[in-house]
Structure formats: structure tokens, C-alpha cells
């Protein structure tokens, strides 16, 4: 796999105390992920093996959505209860970023999940084989 396609580091978490959560991380070239519900952990870690082309498509989505330009932190005034937290760490193709949020998302002026973030989440789910 080409060095500019496979990330050197990738970690993504989305979840909160009440709803479902997803934790995805790249470990020694393997993409491990875990689904959980109601703020708990399932205890079942699954593995995905995206092909080079899938990583390349993911990189295209990341570039198109401008993930490099996302602010380091997104926090909403509505972050006191029923909070959905998310965290992204990526090191890919010569750039890296760490971004996080609490009931706030890139491209959204309020607590609503933005189209930009939904597209990013769909790209992550495609990597692990959970989205068409």
C-alpha cells in the first residue's frame, strides 16, 4: 500500500451517555472498530481491512470536506446534558490533525449535525464496511 494512501495514524470516536457510539482506530495496519449502545461498551472489537482503493476514496472525501481546515475544537452552548462527543485524530499524506467536539460540528452554527460531518461519518462507516 502506498504511504500517501494508508494513514500513519487514525482514530475516530462518536458517542455519548445515551445513544450509540462508534470507536474506530488503526492499529499496526489493521482497522479495529467497536459499536456500543447507551454509553456502554459492547466488548466486541471487530476488524476491517479496507483495500488501497477504499483508503484512496476516504482520502478524497477527507480532502473534499476540508478536514485539514477543521477547528481543533467544536463546543456548543448546548453541551451540558445529553452530550454527543466526537474525536478525530488522523495523520495521513504528510499532514495531521486532532479535532474534537461536544454537540457541535464543523459546518454547523448550532448543535445540529452538519451535512459535512454526516458525509465524513459515512466515509468512516464505508471504511469499516458498515455503509453502502
CATH number at residue 39: 3.30.1560.10
Domain membership of residue 58 (yes or no) is: yes
* 2 domain residue, yes or no: no
State whether residue 99 is helix, strand or coil: strand
| Rounded Cα gap, residues 118 and 108, in angstroms | 11
Query: pLDDT tens digits for the chain (132 residues)?
Result: 445 678 999 999 998 877 778 999 999 888 999 988 765 666 688 999 999 899 999 999 999 999 999 999 998 876 566 788 999 999 998 899 999 999 899 999 878 899 999 999 999 999 999 876
Look at residue 1 and tell me if it is in a domain: no
With 0.75 as the threshold, say if the pTM is over it. yes
Our count of domains for the chain comes to 1
The distance from CA 60 to its chain's CA centroid, rounded to whole angstroms, is 15
> Rounded to 5 degrees, what are φ and ψ at 43?
80, 0
92 domain residue, yes or no: yes
Structural domain boundaries enclosing 107: 9-127
Task: Identify whether 3 is part of a domain.
Answer: no
Half-sphere exposure of 94 (CA within 13 A, CB side): 3
Amino acid at each position: 500500500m502506498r504511504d500517501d494512501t494508508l494513514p500513519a495514524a487514525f482514530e475516530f470516536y462518536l458517542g455519548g451517555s445515551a445513544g450509540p457510539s462508534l470507536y474506530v482506530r488503526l492499529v499496526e495496519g489493521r482497522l479495529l472498530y467497536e459499536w456500543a449502545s447507551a454509553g456502554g461498551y459492547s466488548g466486541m472489537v471487530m476488524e476491517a481491512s479496507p483495500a488501497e482503493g477504499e483508503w484512496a476514496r476516504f482520502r478524497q472525501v477527507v480532502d473534499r470536506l476540508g478536514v485539514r481546515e477543521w477547528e481543533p475544537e467544536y463546543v456548543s452552548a448546548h453541551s451540558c446534558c445529553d452530550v454527543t462527543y466526537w474525536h478525530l485524530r488522523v495523520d495521513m499524506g504528510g499532514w495531521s490533525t486532532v479535532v474534537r467536539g461536544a454537540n457541535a460540528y464543523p459546518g454547523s452554527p448550532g448543535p445540529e449535525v452538519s451535512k459535512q460531518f454526516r458525509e465524513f461519518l459515512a466515509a468512516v462507516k464505508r471504511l469499516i464496511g458498515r455503509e453502502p
